[in-house]
Amino acid sequence: MPQTLRSSGIPFLDDVPWGSHLGVFYETHDDLIDAAARFFEQGLDNNELCIWAPPDHVAADAAVRLREQIAEFDAHLAAGRMRFVAANKWHGSEADPGFWNGVFDDARVGSHDGVRASGDAVWLTEGRHGEALQYEEQIARRLAGRPALALSTYDLTASRGADVLDIARLHGLTVARRRGEWQPFETPSWRAAADLEAALAAMTSAVRGSDLLTERERMVLGLLVRGASSKEVARDLGISPRTADFHRANIIEKLGARNTADVIRRVLSRR
């Protein structure tokens, strides 16, 4: 398959090759709608078959909201270039090959240049975190060798710190949309940091309250950002899980966060 670059429509991700699997964390209803509108507008402009399986909390007015942002939306909808499907079509058992093969067949019959599809990761809100990662890997396999782009969306308020890091590593192409603002998910300087101390300095320097953390709390924070559990923190630092939990509680209090997931969000967004 030629490595044709397609505009994703998503800030910070720029042009991406066919077969790319993108990820967007969103914080509000409006953030999700804006991400979907940007993603699909580019696809409709480029003769791609666009499929959205919106989450239940936006399904009722998804078409109305996209109509507000995408020119000639009704014409695209009437012609079948833009389609809505039930959420379970996106997250059905093991990335149902029947659904995906049907979409690719429809795109070919309709002389579309490719497929652009998006759906929400409901596992995070239902506590089935491991299934989300397995399914995202399966979607990536469905895209391999196909003229297609997929966008998985994640409710940031329902995501654990470990989920955020795992999903970012899985996708490689991930950004966040928070309260109307787009934010890159990680910076090259973080990846290139030679050690934990340098990485923490890059991540926490702009986080309110970070100056209150002790050296040990900074070490614990670094491991939490990488998705470590209390047991893993204890093992790596040679302390008891109870002590790791004590440091975690101190970090949450000093940063003024609600919980560990909120700590991770603050570090990643440097707020």
Question: What local confidence, expressed as pLDDT, does residue 43 receive?
Answer: 95
Question: What local confidence, expressed as pLDDT, does residue 163 receive?
Answer: 63
Among 184, 200, 217, residue at a domain's last position: 184
Question: Would you say 19 and 1 are in contact if contact means Cβ atoms under 8 Å apart?
Answer: yes
Say if residue 84 is in the same domain as residue 169: yes
Say if residue 171 is in the same domain as residue 41: yes
Say if residue 163 is in the same domain as residue 50: yes
* CATH code of the domain containing 261: 1.10.10.10
Say if residue 103 is in the same domain as residue 82: yes
Say if residue 68 is in the same domain as residue 107: yes
Question: What local confidence, expressed as pLDDT, does residue 36 receive?
Answer: 95
Say if residue 21 is in the same domain as residue 92: yes
Say if residue 178 is in the same domain as residue 208: no
125's tokens: 């809100």
The crossing angle, in degrees rounded to 10, of helices 260-269 and 241-254 is 60
Say if residue 114 is in the same domain as residue 240: no
Say if residue 44 is in the same domain as residue 91: yes
Say if residue 171 is in the same domain as residue 197: no
Residue type, 70: I
Question: What local confidence, expressed as pLDDT, does residue 269 receive?
Answer: 63
* CATH code of the domain containing 172: 3.40.50.300
If one counts the domains in the chain, the total is: 2
Query: Could you give the CA distance from residue 145 to residue 167 in angstroms, rounded to a whole number?
Result: 22
Question: What local confidence, expressed as pLDDT, does residue 189 receive?
Answer: 40
Question: What local confidence, expressed as pLDDT, does residue 48 receive?
Answer: 96
Say if residue 165 is in the same domain as residue 46: yes
Say if residue 113 is in the same domain as residue 228: no
User: Can you give the pLDDT of all 271 residues of the chain as single tens digits?
Assistant: 445 788 899 887 878 889 888 888 888 889 999 999 999 999 999 999 999 999 888 888 899 999 999 999 999 999 999 999 888 777 654 445 677 788 889 999 989 999 999 988 765 555 555 565 666 677 777 888 889 999 988 887 766 655 666 666 666 578 888 878 887 765 444 444 444 455 455 556 657 787 888 888 888 887 777 767 777 788 778 788 888 889 989 999 898 888 887 787 777 665 6
- List, as own/partner pairs, every contact residues 154-158 make where C-beta atoms lie below 8 angstroms and the sequence separation is at least 24, other chains included: 154/23, 154/24, 154/25, 154/26, 154/120, 154/121, 154/124, 155/25, 155/26, 155/55, 155/120, 155/121, 155/124, 155/125, 156/25, 156/26, 156/27, 156/265, 157/27, 158/124, 158/125
User: What pTM does this model have?
Assistant: 0.65
Among 127, 160, 184, residue at a domain's last position: 184
Residue 42 is part of which domain span? 5-184
Among 135, 156, 184, residue at a domain's last position: 184
